[in-house]
Structure 1
Amino acid sequence: MGASHSKQDTEQVFYNPVPIQVSSELATQLSDTSLSPEVSPTRHAILDQSVRAKISAEAARLRGQRDSSHDHDDDTSSSDGLGGVDIVQREIEAALERENLDRERGMAGDATTAAAAGADGAHGDVKNSTVLLGDLEEVRQKVDRYRVRASLADHLGVKETREAVASCYQANPTSTLNCWSEVAAFRSAVAELEQQYVDSLR
């Protein structure tokens, strides 16, 4: 309705005064990365999941066949089918486990070799699960030591002087300046505790 009365904007085209150019090094790098056979870790995880899904589907199909053959024939073939499926499944799981361990070792790299060579590998900083568990245990031990240091059992002097200041303030509500000695004792106890904490971090 109102479209015929609205004003049409003229199309504006802006031209770049400097032509856009891509360096040959960038073009080579982009073409090399697009043609590289390396699989990204996310793509590798997706492929690994799909392989695992196919294996589990095949195992479920084999179990179904085993159950149906077990229903039809109780005597001879059922015992042979049970053992065969279980053996195949165990072999597949063992092969996958070996493959994952080999891949983990390859990605982790040999730290001593990399240190001796002085070169950082692309995957040298990736840690395997046993190293990560060791690091986690080390962090837990540090947290436990910190908690032990921070416990109030070690800070009885601070606790006693704090209670002395509080009782003095309660005894002298109108003349709080009479509690200067308790406050000074509290400050010195806190300063001593701070010094102990700083020394424990060294």
Structure 2
Amino acid sequence: MGAAQSSPQADHVVTPQAEGTSVEFAPSLISRLATPASPSAPATGTDELVRRRLAAESAALRTKEAEILSSISSALEKENLDKDKGLSSEVLGRDIEEVREKVTRMAAERASKESPELVAAKEGVVACYAANPNTPLDCWQAVAAFKAEVNKLETAFVKSLQ
């Protein structure tokens, strides 16, 4: 039964007699199907033409992709350079110098804006503490006068903001 199916002369498909049995193919049929078909002139020419076209299209797409990637990367580099220019050490150094100059100017303006009454009250407190190093509580009147002058300046400043 199985000997006839596996004989080397069998080049045909064996069909099973009963349902549920498996189909077996002859080894020569399997080897013929596994080897490439004999090249015929029209089929090979068409296949080769398609392969060449695919290769050309693939190369063109790769070239286009490379161009797009290079343009994107150059645009990103330019954008990053523009951002970095705003954060360079020279720019930051100039900004710091401007802030220092403003602080110095404001301190000088504040010192020049002190009223003569405030200066006199401040000097009175300093003189009192210098005269009474062991009994600083005796200077409460000078301190109260200084606080009153500061309070006047604060009130004037707040009114100027309103």
What TM-score comes out, normalization by structure 1 length? 0.26
Query: Which has the larger Rg?
Result: 2
